[in-house]
């Protein structure tokens, strides 16, 4: 059997020839650099940065160069250019027989069939109900919210990478154990068949081992398929399209001291640890920080809605460079300065209804945020409870495996002496491999639960 296990290990090693083994830290680093979801979130942060800069520009003046060309149709130009005779009135108010020639083209510097008007306009907002400064504050909060969202996405990716990393290692270990179970069943089946040929066992004993072998091979195929699925998920998480990576093997027994520490936590110490976990979650959890920022955003939205009732003041300076029949910037210039003050008196209830709507949106958001906060804290506590349970499960499975090994040894000796049935031997065999698989699985389940807790507390491993 040792030779068969060695062959399996060699096969797994050969399958890694064209793959690179990387540690968990390297996997997380690689995912943070290449994962497409995370890269998308980083682009959101860049967008928020530019959004803040864009909001700041609302404090600054806006300068525009305006140029217009107006061309009159022939009839209009002809009519405007016609000369009319205006009678001259004497001191007594009676026309004296003299006339003055006059045409519309002589007014306002003349009328041109094609006229050009070029000028520069400068607009400077002074006060608009606080909307400019509130808009800038909202852009800063939106940027802050995006930063926390990015942290949360990084935590999600870290947990997903760690979870997939440990699940792949778990399945690889379970694959070896499953193969051992298959080879053990084959060996027992051969022995039972030889005994059946010798007439020392019944046909039913042979059939039982044949059934067990079929079940073991089916389970082995399922494990192989699950491993392929996980490797595909792993590749997507790391964002690697060309290179193939495998998780680096770890010695789970290195975590025994930590597991024993969690498994030995008693009631009073448990409550103290839970309090510490909740305090760390409240302080560091990026989702809770995002919720706090969202609360501030809604308060600003309400202030902006109230700002619709306030007056506004804006300045506009216009400088006309030319207004004549040629585009040569040589016409007469003039300028004007306008201070526009506006006070809203009645807006058909639009401002009032908008403010009331925003108030209820604020109340709704605050309640939703409180509910989400409670759920996160409950999730953090439950994850810690689960971590302690996983640690206790590892300790229990260690004892169970020790008993299963001793039982398997005794049963084999008794079977060789013909003192027990074939079914007893099969039960002992099943118990041994089940105990080995349970212990391997519980180690990796503990590590996965550990990283899930880190996701809540946002601590560095």
Residue-wise pLDDT tens digits, 290-336: 999 999 999 999 999 999 899 999 999 999 888 777 777 776 778 89
Q: Which pLDDT value is given to residue 105?
A: 58
Whole-angstrom Cα distance, residue 60 to residue 125?
8
**Residue 440 — very low, low, confident or very high, per pLDDT cuts 50/70/90?**
very high
Checking if the pLDDT of 1 tops 50, the result is no
Q: What average pLDDT does the chain have?
A: 87
Per-residue model confidence as pLDDT tens digits over 44-71: 999 999 999 999 999 999 999 999 988 8
E strands present in 232-285: 245-247
**Mean pLDDT, rounded, for 94-117:** 70
* DSSP conformational letter for 249: P
Q: What average pLDDT does this structure show over 196-217?
A: 89
| Higher per-residue pLDDT: 156 or 332 | 156
28 to 136, 156, 159, 163: CA distances (angstroms):
35, 11, 9, 11
Q: What is the pLDDT of residues 222-275, one digit of tens each?
A: 999 999 999 999 988 888 876 778 999 999 999 999 999 999 998 889 999 999
Q: Would the pLDDT of 445 be above 90? A: yes
Band (2; pLDDT cuts 50, 70, 90): very low
Torsion of the alpha carbons at 179, 180, 184 and 186, rounded to the nearest 10: 20
Contact predicate 337/315, CB 8 Å: yes
From CA 160, how far away is CA 268, in angstroms rounded? Answer: 32
Position 129 scores a pLDDT of 87
Q: Is 411 left (phi over 0), alpha (psi -120 to 50) or beta?
A: alpha
Q: What is the DSSP string of 278-318?
A: HHHHHHH-HHHHHHHHHHHHHHHHHHHHHHTTS-EEEEEEE
Task: Give pLDDT tens digits for 371-423.
Answer: 999 999 999 999 999 999 999 999 999 999 999 999 999 998 988 887 888 88
Cα dihedral: 429, 431, 437, 440 (round 10): -120
Pairwise CA distance, residues 410 & 425, whole Å: 10
Under a CB-based contact definition with an 8 Å cutoff, are residues 441 and 252 in contact? Answer: no
Strand partners, 316: 123, 338
The pTM is what?
A: 0.78
Percent of the chain with pLDDT over 70: 92
Which pLDDT score is estimated for 103? 63
Q: Is 321 within 8 Å of 120 (Cβ atoms)?
A: yes
- What lies within 8 Å, CB to CB, of 31 at 6+ separation is 38, 157, 158, 161, 237, 238, 239
Whole-number Cα distances in Å, 111 to 79, 117, 372: 11, 13, 70
- In this prediction, residue 230 carries a pLDDT of 92
Mean pLDDT throughout 85-94? 74
């Amino acid at each position: 059997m040792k030779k068969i296990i060695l062959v399996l290990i060699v096969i797994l090693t050969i399958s890694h020839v064209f793959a690179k083994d990387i540690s968990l830290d390297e996997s997380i680093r690689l995912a943070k650099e290449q994962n497409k979801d995370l890269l998308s979130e980083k682009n959101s942060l860049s967008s928020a940065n530019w959004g803040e800069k864009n909001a700041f520009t609302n404090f600054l003046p806006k300068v525009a160069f305006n140029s217009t060309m107006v061309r009159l149709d022939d009839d209009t130009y002809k009519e405007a250019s016609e000369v009319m005779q205006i009678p001259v009135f004497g001191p007594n108010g009676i026309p004296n027989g003299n006339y003055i020639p006059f045409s519309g083209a002589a007014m306002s510097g003349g009328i041109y069939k094609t006229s050009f008007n070029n000028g520069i306009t400068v607009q400077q907002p002074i006060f608009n109900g606080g909307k400019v400064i509130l808009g800038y504050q909202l852009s800063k909060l939106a940027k802050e919210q995006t930063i926390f969202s990015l942290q949360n996405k990084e935590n999600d990716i870290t947990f997903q990478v760690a979870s997939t990393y440990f699940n792949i290692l778990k399945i690889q270990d379970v694959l070896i154990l499953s193969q051992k179970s298959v080879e053990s069943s084959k060996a027992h089946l051969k022995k039972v068949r030889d005994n059946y040929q010798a007439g020392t066992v019944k046909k039913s004993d042979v059939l039982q081992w044949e059934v067990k072998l079929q079940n073991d091979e089916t389970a082995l195929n399922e494990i192989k398929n699950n491993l392929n699925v996980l490797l595909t998920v792993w590749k997507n998480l790391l964002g690697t399209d060309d290179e193939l990576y495998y998780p680096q093997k770890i010695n789970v027994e290195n975590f025994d001291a930590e597991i024993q520490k969690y498994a030995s936590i008693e009631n009073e110490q448990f409550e103290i640890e839970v309090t510490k976990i909740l305090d760390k979650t409240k302080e560091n959890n990026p989702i809770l920080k995002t919720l706090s920022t969202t609360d501030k955003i809604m308060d600003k939205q309400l202030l902006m809605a109230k700002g619709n009732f306030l007056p506004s003041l804006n300045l506009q300076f216009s400088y006309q460079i030319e207004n004549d029949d040629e585009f040569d910037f040589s016409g007469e210039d003039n300028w004007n300065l306008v201070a526009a003050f506006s006070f809203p008196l009645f807006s058909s209830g639009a401002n009032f209804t908008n403010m009331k709507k925003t108030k209820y949106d604020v109340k709704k958001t605050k309640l939703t945020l409180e509910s989400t906060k409670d759920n996160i804290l409950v999730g953090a506590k439950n994850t810690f409870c689960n971590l302690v349970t996983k640690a206790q499960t590892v300790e229990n499975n260690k004892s169970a495996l020790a008993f299963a090994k001793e039982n398997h040894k005794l049963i084999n000796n008794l079977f060789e002496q013909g003192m027990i049935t074939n079914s007893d031997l099969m039960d002992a065999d099943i118990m041994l491999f089940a105990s080995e698989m349970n212990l391997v699985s519980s180690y990796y389940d503990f590590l996965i639960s550990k990283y899930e807790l880190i996701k809540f507390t946002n601590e560095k491993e």
